[in-house]
Amino acid sequence: MTFTQYYKPDDMSASVPEHLQTDEDLQQQIMDINLLYSAAIREVSTKLDVLGDDFRMKHSYVPIHHMQSRLKSFESLMDKAERYGIEDPIHNLDTVRAEVFDIAGIRVVCNYREDIYTMSELLLKQSDVDLIKIKDYCKNPKPSGYRSLHVVISIPVFLVNSKTTVPVEIQFRSIAMDTWASLEHELKYKNKGALTEDIQKQLTQCAKTLSDVDEQMERIRHQVF
Ligand code: GTP
Ligand code: MG
């Protein structure tokens, strides 16, 4: 038997502004968020892992190519809360938690486009999983060309003395969709968010080309199996 180290997401309190690090009540609230949301990431990742394993046993095929997860940093959580118009978010963390659904985020990269729907449906069928919202940018791509299925679910997390329902945002994508989103994000980030209209147009065209390839690969798959 091999023992693997349990993956634990980053410590959120690492990004708390220095002048607030002496506020004990705030520290406790941030530690609670860190514990709950990182636990929720592990719960949902395990569910998806188990589904993948069972799929392999039953169909000799694994629909998930790979998964990534992240806990939003405190700094980026506060930035988002301000964009959402929440006043004094640092002292209103309950409101922040009620309105920001992607504190816990998981990205599920599937081999084929149809695997996205297979995996998301299997997850949503589970009795302890509740759907909060779903946005299908595969069927309705963003103007940029971005494609993915965004699903926000909530699941219960059990602690020593409590049970809390925690939201988790899951982005389901095909490998081709992930290729585009990763490279486009990198290009935007490197250019500080400003890409010319012409570059954006070229990127949107690339997204369309990759989507055509996805469709073609799916057809080939059906011919082979
Ligand atoms: P915000 O999360 O506040 O933006 O609102 P929202 O939940 O309505 O946003 P959305 O459904 O667009 O999901 C946002 C996430 O999707 C981002 O953090 C990215 O991971 C991804 N995303 C959305 N649009 C794009 C895009 O054009 N390019 C890339 N690379 N990623 C995108
Ligand atoms: Mg979002």
Please give the pLDDT value at position 10: 61
Please give the pLDDT value at position 1: 41
Do residues 12 and 73 make contact, with C-beta atoms less than 8 angstroms apart?
Answer: yes
Nearest ligand 1 atom to the CA of 184 is 30
- Nearest ligand atom owner, CA of 173: 1
Distance of CA 84 to the CA centre of its chain: 19
Average pLDDT over residues 129-156: 98
pLDDT in tens, 15-28: 677 777 788 899 99
Do residues 137 and 172 make contact, with C-beta atoms less than 8 angstroms apart?
Answer: no
pLDDT at residue 7 is higher than 60 = no
Nearest ligand 1 atom to the CA of 107 is 20
Please give the pLDDT value at position 69: 97
pLDDT in tens, 37-66: 999 999 999 999 999 999 999 999 999 999
Average predicted confidence (pLDDT) for the chain: 93
Nearest ligand 1 atom to the CA of 135 is 11
Is 144 touching ligand 1 by the criterion CB < 6 Å?
A: yes
Task: Compute CA distances 138 → 31, 84, 131, 171, 225, whole Å.
Answer: 36, 25, 18, 11, 24
Average pLDDT over residues 138-151: 98
- The whole model's pTM is what? 0.93
Whole-complex ipTM: 0.94
Give the closest residue to 121 by CA, choosing from 177, 172, 81, 80: 172
Please give the pLDDT value at position 2: 44
Please give the pLDDT value at position 151: 98
Please give the pLDDT value at position 190: 83
Q: Which amino acid is at 190?
A: K
d(Cα 122, Cα 50) in Å, to the nearest integer?
Answer: 11
Q: What single-letter DSSP state applies at residue 90?
A: G
Please give the pLDDT value at position 6: 52
pLDDT in tens, 66-116: 999 999 999 999 999 999 999 999 999 999 999 999 999 999 999 999 999
pLDDT in tens, 178-200: 999 999 999 998 887 788 999 99
- Which domains can be identified in the chain, with CATH numbers? 3-177 (3.30.460.10)
Please give the pLDDT value at position 203: 97
Is 152 touching ligand 1 by the criterion CB < 6 Å?
A: no
Do residues 12 and 18 make contact, with C-beta atoms less than 8 angstroms apart?
Answer: no
Please give the pLDDT value at position 11: 64
The count of other CB atoms within 10 Å of the CB of residue 159 is: 11
